[in-house]
Amino acid sequence: MKKISVIIVEDHKLVREMWTDLLADNNEIEVVGESGDFDEAIEMIKSKKPDIVFLDINLPQSSGLDAVPLIRKFAPDTRIIAISVHDLPVYAKKMLQMGAKAYVTKNSSHLEIFKAVEEVMNGRSYVCLE
């Protein structure tokens, strides 16, 4: 069975490494790239067209909100899971309206992260409980 390919877009290196380690522990997932730079991430997504992008909505050069339409344009089959420190419903609503398929906060459990992956891979949307 083909592994689920994932790119992580997060500006904090330690957080990116932790996401990579967490996802690498799952035999069904392969992290094929990671970046903290907006432009580099978009180019990586264009070339690799992963199944899923974990996208932080707060990036230094630009916002994850700005990335969503570009990802939708250059990799239309890629599912976006937005990641944020914000737990306000307005952020989740905005990201989902723009084309993200799921929204999780950095306060979510690892089980919830895997639930989001499962849901978007099955064609459904997901918003974390926390």
Mean pLDDT rounded to a whole number for the chain: 92
- Domain formed by 4-84+94-106, architecture: 3-Layer(aba) Sandwich (3.40)
pLDDT score for 61: 78
Q: Could you tell me if residue 97 is left (phi over 0), alpha (psi between -120 and 50 degrees) or otherwise beta? A: alpha
Residue 21 CA, chain-centre distance (Å), reads: 15
More confident residue, 50 or 24: 50
Q: Is the confidence at residue 129, as pLDDT, over 90?
A: no
**Residue 35: band (very low, low, confident or very high) from pLDDT cuts 50, 70, 90:** very high
**Residue 115: band (very low, low, confident or very high) from pLDDT cuts 50, 70, 90:** very high
Neighbours of 93 (CB within 10 A): 12
Q: Is the confidence at residue 88, as pLDDT, over 90?
A: no
Judged on CB neighbours under 10 Å (0-12, 13-18, 19+), 127 is: middle
**Residue 130: band (very low, low, confident or very high) from pLDDT cuts 50, 70, 90:** low
Which residue ranges make up each domain of the chain? 4-84+94-106
Average pLDDT over residues 103-126: 94
Q: Is the confidence at residue 55, as pLDDT, over 90?
A: yes
**Residue 59: band (very low, low, confident or very high) from pLDDT cuts 50, 70, 90:** confident
